[in-house]
Structure 1
Amino acid sequence: MTSIALSAGTSEAALDALVHAVTTNQFALPDDGRVLFLRARDGHWWGGHSRARWVCQQSFKPFADALERSGLNVAEPEQDARFPLVLILPPRQRDEARALYARAARHLAVGGTVAAAVANNEGARTGEGDFRQLFGSAQVLSKHHCRVFWSTPDADAIDAGLLAQWQALDRPRPVGDGRFVSRPGLFAWNRIDAASALLAAHLPGTIRGRVADLGAGYGYLAVELLQRCAEITAIDLYEAEARALEPARINLESALAELGREVPFALHWHDVSRGLPERYDAIVSNPPFHQGRADQPELGLAFIEAAARALEPHGRFFMVANRHLPYEATLAARFSRVQTLTIQDGFKVFEASGTQA
C-alpha cells in the first residue's frame, strides 16, 4: 500500500509558511518567471504572481491531479534544466529529503536561490541542518509552526562529494533479506509490512485469471501472488506514488525470472479512489487509511468501492485492514458474501465476493 502521509510528504502548514515567505518577499521571484517546485502543492494564493513558467514536480497522483486541474505544468524537469529559484516541500523521511535537496542543487542555476519549508513536528530542525550542510548557509523564517530556510549559495559552496552521496540515496536498493528492492519514503520501505504479510499468508492458491493489486507499493503482494498462484494470467499494479513503480517493476521482473514464467504485468500511476479502468477476476489490497497523523477510513472505503466496481461477477476481493477500522458495513453493502479469514496482531483479513449494486 501507499501511506498517504508519507507520500504527501508535507503538511498544509509548511505550504502556508512557504507561501508567506514568497508573498512577503523574503526572497525574490525571478524576473523571467522560471521556478522549479519540488513536491509542489497548489490551492494557495501566491500574491498574483504568474506561474505560467513554473515546473511543478509531484510524484503523488492525487496532488499532481490537483495541480493540473489548476492549469499548472506538472512535469519532471529536464536533466540539464537550471532554474533561478527552486522551491521544496521536503518529506519527513530523512534519506528521501536529502535526495530531494541534492536534486534541487542539481537544478539550481548559478546565482539562484533554493528555499524549503518543513513543519516543526515533521523534522524542521533536522531538515534545516541538512540543508545547511549541503548549501553552506541558510536564512530562516519561523511561521505557522514551521521553518522556512533558504540560501543563494556560491558556486563552490556545494560539496560535490556530499551532493553525489545524497543523489544516490533515492536509488532502489535491496531491503530486508534481499528478496526485494525499495527506496526511502515508500510505505514500509525497508521491511515487509506486517499487515501485508498477514494478507499474503491467507491468499489461496486458487486465485486465477486477471488480477489487480490496489496500492501496490514496491510490489510485495504482487510478487507473493505470482509465487502462490500458478494460474494468474496477468497482473496490474495500481499505485499513487510514482516513486514506487520502478522498484515494483524490478521486483516483479526478478520474481518472474526466478519462477521461469512469463506473466504480463502493468504498472499504473493511478489514484484508485477515482475508479479502475479495467475489470478483474481477483483484486487484493492493503489500502491506505490515514493522511497526516489522523485516521481517514474513507480512503479504505474508496478502495472497497473501486474493487467492487472493477470485479467480474465471479470475482473475489481480498483485503487487510487495521482491526479498528469500520469497513464491515461497506463490504456487506457491496458484496453478497463476506468472510473474515483471520483477526490477529491488530489486523483483520477479508475475502468478499458476489458484487452488488
Structure 2
Amino acid sequence: MPAPHDAPLETLFLPFSKAGLRWPQGPVLFLRARDGWPLREHADSAQLVCTQSFRPFAEALQRSGWEVRDEQALEQSDERYAVVLVLPPRQRDEARALFAQALDKLAPGGIIVACQSNNEGARSGESDLQQLAGLGGTLTKNHCRAYWSQPAEGKHDVALHKRWAALDAPRKIVDGRFLSRPGVFAWDRIDPASALLVEQLPADLAGRGADLGAGWGYLSSEVLARCPKVTALDLYEAEARALALARHNLAEAGAQVKLDFRWHDVTTGIDDRYDFIVSNPPFHTPAREDRPDIGRRFIAVAAQSLRPGGQLFMVANRHLPYEQILTESFGQVRVAAERDGFKVIVGTRGRA
C-alpha cells in the first residue's frame, strides 16, 4: 500500500539528476525500499536488491519485478554494492543501525544515499550519517532532505560503527518478560491501549481466535494467560521484524496451544474463521502517512472472519471514526471501556 505520492522516495533520487552523483553499472542495494514511479524511472530491475520487512511494501516491490531479500539473507551474503540507498525509519536507534548496515554492504569507493521527510527526522539522520562516515552533500526538496556519503576505505568511525550496528538488536523488556527491539510498535513498553483492552478480555474466551496486528505478541500472550479455554490462536502481523519477536515471546505457550504466526497484510482479507478476534489496529503505515482506513478495513475483515455469534475485542484512539463500519458489520456493538484517550469496543456478529 505505497502512498500515491511518496515524497522521500522521489527526493532520494534527485542527487543523481541534480547533484552529479553517478548511477553505477553494478548492483545497487536499497534498504527499506518502497515501490513507486521514481524507483521504476531510475533503477534497472536486474541490478537492484531490496530489503523490506513490511508485507504490503514488500509485495508491491515484488509485483513490480524487484528482488526482495529478508534481513537474514542479506546479512549472510558477502556481496558489496557501489550504491546503497536508504529510507531511514523515524526511530533513531533503528535508523543508526541501518546506516551501519549500509556501511557494511558498501563496496570500496561506493556511495550511501539516504532521504527522510523534514518532520520525520531528516536533520538528525543527516547529522548521524555525517558523524559515522562523513557527508558528501545534501539536497532539499518536497519537504524532504536527501544526503549522501562516500566514505574512504577504513576512514569511517570504526568504534561508532560497531556500537550502532547493535542498536536495534533484540533485548528484554518489561522486567525480562518479553523480547523486543527498536522500531517495532511500542517496542520498549506495554502500549497503554493494549493494556486497556487486556483488562476487558473475558476469561471465558474459548475455541479458535486470532490477533490482527499482533506486533511483538503482547495481546496474544495475555489472551493465552487469561483464557484457558482457548485452543488455537493465529497471529497476523505485516511487519516481519515484529512477528519474529512474537514467535519468540510465545514459544512456551505454543507447547500448550496451537499457534500460527502469519506474515500477512490483514487489509487483503482472511480465509479462516474464528470464534473471537482481538485487535489493536494500526492507523498509519511505516511511511508515516495517516491511514484511518486501515483500521476500518481491519474491522470489516474481522467481521467477515468471525463465526456467527463470534466477538471482536478491539481498542482504538477515541477520536477515530469507526462507528459507522462497526454498526454496518456487527449485530451488536458496545463500548466496554474508555480511558486516556482510548476506547475498547466489543462487536458481536449476528447469528442470522
TM superposition score normalised by structure 2? 0.91
SS at match of 2:25: coil
User: Pairwise mapping of residues 203-282 of structure 1 onto structure 2 (< 5 A)?
Assistant: 203-254=201-252, 256=253, 262-282=256-276
Instruction: Tell me if 1:131 matches 2:125.
Output: no
Whole-angstrom distance in 1 between the partners of 2:288 and 2:79: 36
The CA deviation at 1:45 is 3.2
Instruction: Tell me if 1:178 matches 2:172.
Output: no
Matched AA of 1:102: A
Whole-angstrom distance in 2 between the partners of 1:232 and 1:49: 49
Q: Could you list the per-position Cα deviations for residues 107-156 of structure 1 after superposition, in whole angstroms to 9, with x for gaps in the alignment? A: 11122111111222211111111111221333222222222111221111
* Contact 1:136–1:157 under 8 Å retained in 2: no
* Contact 1:211–1:235 under 8 Å retained in 2: yes
Matched AA of 1:352: G
Corresponding residue of 1:156: 154
* Contact 2:111–2:148 under 8 Å retained in 1: yes
The CA deviation at 1:56 is 1.2
Matched AA of 2:12: L
SS at match of 1:268: strand
The CA deviation at 1:287 is 0.5
Corresponding residue of 1:41: 34
The one of 8, 11, 14 equivalent to 1:17 is: 11
SS at match of 1:91: coil
SS at match of 1:74: strand
Corresponding residue of 1:79: 77
Matched AA of 1:274: T
Quick one: structure 1 residues 94 and 356, their matched pair in 2 at CA, closer, same or farther if it must change by over 3 Å? farther
Question: How much identity, in percent, do the aligned residues show?
Answer: 52
Quick one: structure 1 residues 126 and 48, their matched pair in 2 at CA, closer, same or farther if it must change by over 3 Å? closer
Corresponding residue of 2:22: 28
SS at match of 2:245: helix
The one of 308, 325, 331 equivalent to 1:313 is: 308
Whole-angstrom distance in 1 between the partners of 2:121 and 2:278: 34
Matched AA of 2:339: Q
- Which structure ranks higher in relative contact order (CA pairs < 8 Å, sequence separation ≥ 6)? 1
* Contact 1:334–1:355 under 8 Å retained in 2: no
* Contact 2:9–2:38 under 8 Å retained in 1: no
* Contact 1:140–1:149 under 8 Å retained in 2: yes
Quick one: structure 1 residues 356 and 129, their matched pair in 2 at CA, closer, same or farther if it must change by over 3 Å? farther
The CA deviation at 1:353 is 1.6
Q: Could you list the per-position Cα deviations for residues 294-343 of structure 1 after superposition, in whole angstroms to 9, with x for gaps in the alignment? A: 64321111001111111122321111111112212211211112222112
Q: After superposing the two structures, state which structure 1 stretch, 164-173 or 22-31, moved more.
A: 22-31
The CA deviation at 1:194 is 0.8
Corresponding residue of 2:44: 50
Whole-angstrom distance in 2 between the partners of 1:320 and 1:165: 37
Quick one: structure 1 residues 48 and 125, their matched pair in 2 at CA, closer, same or farther if it must change by over 3 Å? closer
Matched AA of 2:224: L
The one of 311, 322, 325 equivalent to 2:320 is: 325
Whole-angstrom distance in 2 between the partners of 1:177 and 1:129: 33
Whole-angstrom distance in 1 between the partners of 2:268 and 2:312: 18
Matched AA of 1:31: Q
Whole-angstrom distance in 2 between the partners of 1:48 and 1:246: 33
Unaligned runs of 5+ in 1: none
The one of 101, 106, 109 equivalent to 2:107 is: 109
Quick one: structure 1 residues 293 and 73, their matched pair in 2 at CA, closer, same or farther if it must change by over 3 Å? closer
The one of 79, 82, 87 equivalent to 1:89 is: 87
SS at match of 1:287: coil
Q: After superposing the two structures, state which structure 1 stretch, 173-182 or 285-294, moved more.
A: 285-294
Whole-angstrom distance in 1 between the partners of 2:42 and 2:213: 37
Unaligned runs of 5+ in 2: none
SS at match of 1:96: helix
The CA deviation at 1:71 is 1.6
Aligned length: 345
Q: After superposing the two structures, state which structure 1 stretch, 56-65 or 287-296, moved more.
A: 287-296
The CA deviation at 1:351 is 1.4
Whole-angstrom distance in 1 between the partners of 2:23 and 2:290: 37
Whole-angstrom distance in 2 between the partners of 1:311 and 1:301: 16
Corresponding residue of 1:68: 62
Whole-angstrom distance in 2 between the partners of 1:30 and 1:290: 34
Q: Could you list the per-position Cα deviations for residues 76-125 of structure 1 after superposition, in whole angstroms to 9, with x for gaps in the alignment? A: 33532211110000011100000101111111112211111122221111
